[in-house]
A and B are shown apart, each in its own frame.
Chain A
Amino acid sequence: GAGVSQSPSNKVTEKGKDVELRCDPISGHTALYWYRQSLGQGLEFLIYFQGNSAPDKSGLPSDRFSAERTGGSVSTLTIQRTQQEDSAVYLCASSLTRFHFADTQYFGPGTRLTVL
Chain B
Amino acid sequence: KQEVTQIPAALSVPEGENLVLNCSFTDSAIYNLQWFRQDPGKGLTSLLLIQSSQREQTSGRLNASLDKSSGRSTLYIAASQPGDSATYLCAVLLDSSGAGSYQLTFGKGTKLSVIP
Q: Which residues of A contact B (CB under 8 A)?
A: 4, 33, 42-45, 48, 55-56, 58-59, 91, 93, 100-110
Contact = CB atoms under 8 A, between A and B. Distances in A.
A37 to B, nearest CB: 9
A44 B106 contact: yes
A25 to B, nearest CB: 13
B106 A100 contact: no
Interface centre among A93, A102, A105, A109 (most CB of B within 10 A): A105
Interface of B: 31-32, 34, 42-46, 49, 51, 89, 91, 93, 100-109
Contact of B45 (A42, A44, A107, A110): A107
Interface centre among A42, A43, A104, A108 (most CB of B within 10 A): A43
Contact of B109 (A42, A45, A59, A104): A42
Contacts of A93: 43-44
Contacts of A104: 46, 49
Interface centre among B34, B42, B44, B109 (most CB of A within 10 A): B44
B32 A101 contact: yes
A113 to B, nearest CB: 15
